[in-house]
Structure 1
Amino acid sequence: MSSSSPSPLVSPTSSRSVTETVNGSHKFVIQGYSLAKGMGIGKHIASDNFTVGGYQWAIYFYPDGKNPEDNSTYVSVFIALASEGTDVRALFELTLVDQSGKGKHKVHSHFDRSLESGPYTLKYRGSMWGYKRFFRRALLETSDYLKDDCLKINCTVGVVVSAIDCSRLHSIQVPESDIGEHFGMLLENMECSDVTFDVAGEKFHAHKLVLAARSPIFRSKFFEVLEEDKQEIVISDLEPKVFKVNSSLIVPIVLHEAILHFIYRDSLTEDVDVAGSGSSCMSSVSDTLVAKLLAAADRYGLERLRLMCESHLCKDISVNSVAKILALADQYHATELKAVCLKFAAENLAGLFSISSYISLTICEKKS
């Protein structure tokens, strides 16, 4: 009678299921509340779609209420699933922003009640969560939530997801890339600089290899055209303030010029951010620093800088400025900005017909 050998030991295994929310938020600004009021019960103004947790969402604002039984006494606000989805579970928060600066926001939060009722389930595209009686209209119109005929609503969505996760048992944090800071210090200290730009008499020191790596135009200058012993380039068709933010003879040279700052740090300076806002006047938009940087980006083949300038100018599109911005977009090959301008114009023809900018817009479209 033979004895059986013992069974080999099997190492234990483990796994962990983690259920959590993927959170995202969207700010919805409703300008011209008094004009929206009276559009009718059940009719809404919708925000742009925004993506959270792999699904698209939208905010619906009903200035006269969603249902007839409320008799226009309340405004209604809802969050809607704007993409295809089945049994999407999520938590929501709607906040009416107090614009007085006192921080007394009106918050409707599903997050706070999640332990009691659990996440809300949306069954199909168009499913909504929100409040028919979000705020009494008479109180809203005399409150600090309405300022300059403008309402601001913040929406937070937390999509519930479950996954098997082992990585969190042993995790190592990797810091954000700091390569831009290192290259920026190289520019500030002017260490090993081997080329100088002369812009209206002001000198800017840089490094050929960095410039050539970032711009095909500079690459051509340095390795195909520029002579070996030539270390200075005269820039005759750019204003000094385009080359250096806040350029002035009395301003220290340590203030970075905008193009070099972008090339070395891959970002815009705060001065450029400030200069890019509030430029919706048609007569001034082409003279802004952002518009001039767009021209420089086009000249030197700096595609990311071009897109950053397009993004800034896009925020200033209005009925009064769209023609001028469209002209800039066409001149400097800003295709995405041009598409946004044309879409805005198509959606606001009534306003364009009533002002002189419509004539300029028509000319720009014919040229394109």
Structure 2
Amino acid sequence: MFSHRHKSPLVSPSSSRFVTETVNGSHNFVIKGYSLAKGIGVGKHIASETFTVGGFQWAIYFYPDGKNPEDNSAYVSVFIALASEGTDVRALFELTLVDQGTHGKHKVHSHFDRSLESGPYTLKYRGSMWGYKRFFRRTMLESSTFLKDDCLKLNCTVGVVVSAIDSSRLHSIDVPESDIGAHFGMLLENEEGSDVTFNVRGVKFHAHKLVLAARSPEFESEFLNGMEEDNREIVVVDMEPKVFKALLHFIYTDNLIEDEEFSVTSSSCMPSLSDKLAAKLLAAADKYGLARLALMCESVLCKDVSVNSVANILALADRFSAMDLKSVCLKFAAENLVAVMETDGFELLKENCPLLQSELLKTVAGTEEELSGGGKSRSVWAQFSDGGDTTDRRRHNWEDVGERGQSLWVQSSDGGDARGMSPGQEG
């Protein structure tokens, strides 16, 4: 007699794993005019722009006269600071002072790729810092190839520690990034199957009607609604070949063309605003209805905003409805009004763009409210042209700015003379 044992059904095993790793990011910080930064005082720093790694914001702090009073400014200090709210943020750090000579012997302090006795460093709250009070002796730094043309270059890498239960990575398939832009870029470069030619000041560009129509409402209207089939060449008279080439590159690849103007900020050797590729490309983006290209150009031009350039960039942004760039310019001009008013660009703004000046008045009023709330000592006054003694400067409810002529007065805290501007009457 045979006995039958009951067998349990087979159960597929499950699995998971707890993964701890770092999310890494880097930031390059260039300090120009090092010699002018000396003497700001022990414990006072120069800060980089904030950058984001692992969901937190960070900043590099450079102390030209050192952080530690006991060192009597014998050393420069460098720290990495948590610049956003966070509690017990664990991270690894790497600080590199770039050797600008031919040897490439960079000064590197790194936690990566080495064993740490107590694990990653923990930053408890916003403003927590890690770094070196005695990063480099000043006399040695100033006689080294780390300092070139009065310029220092620092690189900071932050690795934020993150942990999670991850079962998917046991069986995962990596999917590469989309390369459709590269394929369409080759289509443009090879001119294969092109069915339309553009003549831009004697330079010929071959393209594809369907691609252009799919990307631009202006081209869609031109090609699908009104253009004769046998009209294969279009003459473009309001654009330079370099700009049209950059326009086509964006249409096919969704990226800006590689050009040094897009990677170098303004300087004395850079072209004027009217000659900049980004400015001309912004005009082209406006003409052909390419909103993403317009934003890319705004982002490039935003880096060139300065006291001397802001009035011209503001006028350009207003002309082509570049609202994000316009907002940046208005805020910058309001915060630096006295200096901006001394520039030639501001004088042209007064003459040619009175409506923009009224918008600037409103922005200044809003900035004044922020400054007074933050304890700043600048006063902004409205002086009206509806009669009365010009010495009777009254604060004004800025809700009705633009309904009557007014002048703007800025009084600095140093007791200097007030400066004024008048946007004129609006209809």
The structure-2 alpha-carbon separation of the partners of 1:240 and 1:10, relative to structure 1 and needing over 3 Å to count, comes to: closer
The structure-2 alpha-carbon separation of the partners of 1:11 and 1:235, relative to structure 1 and needing over 3 Å to count, comes to: closer
Q: Structure 1 CA distance, aligned partners of 2:26 and 2:230?
A: 55
Q: Give the deviation of 1:155 after TM superposition.
A: 0.6
2:272 match: 284
Q: Give the deviation of 1:123 after TM superposition.
A: 1.1
2:88 match: 87
What aligned pairs does 1:332-343 form with structure 2 within 5 A after superposition? 332-343=320-331
Residue 195 (str. 1) matches residue 216 (str. 2): no
The SS at the match of 2:193 is coil
Contact 1:44 1:61 in 2 (8 A): yes
Whichever residue aligns with residue 237 of structure 1, its letter is D
1:217 match: 218
Summarize deviations over 1:235-288 as a string: whole Å, max 9, x none: 222233322xxxxxxxxxxxxx22222211222333x33577465458723113
Residue 313 (str. 1) matches residue 340 (str. 2): no
Whichever residue aligns with residue 204 of structure 1, its letter is F
Contact 1:211 1:218 in 2 (8 A): yes
2:251 match: 263
**Percent identity, aligned pairs only?**
75
Contact 1:29 1:151 in 2 (8 A): yes
Q: Structure 2 CA distance, aligned partners of 1:359 and 1:146?
A: 40
2:32 match: 31
Q: Give the deviation of 1:171 after TM superposition.
A: 2.8
Contact 1:41 1:72 in 2 (8 A): yes
The structure-2 alpha-carbon separation of the partners of 1:230 and 1:358, relative to structure 1 and needing over 3 Å to count, comes to: closer
The structure-2 alpha-carbon separation of the partners of 1:55 and 1:283, relative to structure 1 and needing over 3 Å to count, comes to: closer
Summarize deviations over 1:76-122 as a string: whole Å, max 9, x none: 11111111111111111111111224211111112355432310011
Residue 67 (str. 1) matches residue 63 (str. 2): no
The structure-2 alpha-carbon separation of the partners of 1:357 and 1:134, relative to structure 1 and needing over 3 Å to count, comes to: farther
Question: What is the aligned length?
Answer: 352
Greater relative CO (CA pairs within 8 A, separation 6+):
1
2:260 match: 273
Contact 2:261 2:276 in 1 (8 A): no
The SS at the match of 2:159 is strand
1:366 match: 357
The structure-2 alpha-carbon separation of the partners of 1:346 and 1:100, relative to structure 1 and needing over 3 Å to count, comes to: farther
The SS at the match of 1:116 is coil
Contact 1:100 1:144 in 2 (8 A): yes
Whichever residue aligns with residue 106 of structure 2, its letter is H
Q: Give the deviation of 1:316 after TM superposition.
A: 3.5
Q: Structure 2 CA distance, aligned partners of 1:349 and 1:31?
A: 25
Summarize deviations over 1:149-206 as a string: whole Å, max 9, x none: 2221111111111111222222323233221222223223333323232323443222
- Scaled by the length of structure 2, the TM-score of the pair is 0.74
The structure-2 alpha-carbon separation of the partners of 1:339 and 1:190, relative to structure 1 and needing over 3 Å to count, comes to: same
Unaligned runs of 5+ in 1: 244-256
Contact 2:196 2:233 in 1 (8 A): yes
1:154 match: 155
Residue 326 (str. 1) matches residue 314 (str. 2): yes
Q: Structure 1 CA distance, aligned partners of 2:273 and 2:262?
A: 10
Which of 265, 274, 284 is the aligned partner of 1:296? 284
Q: Structure 1 CA distance, aligned partners of 2:313 and 2:5?
A: 86
Q: Give the deviation of 1:345 after TM superposition.
A: 4.1
Whichever residue aligns with residue 366 of structure 1, its letter is Q
- Scaled by the length of structure 1, the TM-score of the pair is 0.84
Q: Give the deviation of 1:134 after TM superposition.
A: 1.2
Q: Give the deviation of 1:341 after TM superposition.
A: 3.5
Whichever residue aligns with residue 325 of structure 1, its letter is I
Whichever residue aligns with residue 164 of structure 1, its letter is I
The structure-2 alpha-carbon separation of the partners of 1:150 and 1:25, relative to structure 1 and needing over 3 Å to count, comes to: same
Summarize deviations over 1:204-235 as a string: whole Å, max 9, x none: 22222111111111112223333455444332
Unaligned runs of 5+ in 2: 360-427
1:251 match: none
Q: Give the deviation of 1:359 after TM superposition.
A: 3.9
The structure-2 alpha-carbon separation of the partners of 1:128 and 1:114, relative to structure 1 and needing over 3 Å to count, comes to: farther
The structure-2 alpha-carbon separation of the partners of 1:348 and 1:102, relative to structure 1 and needing over 3 Å to count, comes to: farther
Contact 2:262 2:300 in 1 (8 A): no
Q: Structure 2 CA distance, aligned partners of 1:346 and 1:142?
A: 41
The SS at the match of 1:173 is coil
CA RMSD in angstroms comes to 2.8
Contact 2:261 2:277 in 1 (8 A): no
Q: Structure 1 CA distance, aligned partners of 2:328 and 2:102?
A: 33
Whichever residue aligns with residue 145 of structure 1, its letter is F
Moved more, 303-312 or 272-281: 272-281
Q: Give the deviation of 1:7 after TM superposition.
A: 5.5
Moved more, 58-67 or 326-335: 326-335
Contact 1:64 1:74 in 2 (8 A): yes
Whichever residue aligns with residue 20 of structure 2, its letter is T
Q: Structure 1 CA distance, aligned partners of 2:6 and 2:316?
A: 84
Residue 117 (str. 1) matches residue 118 (str. 2): yes
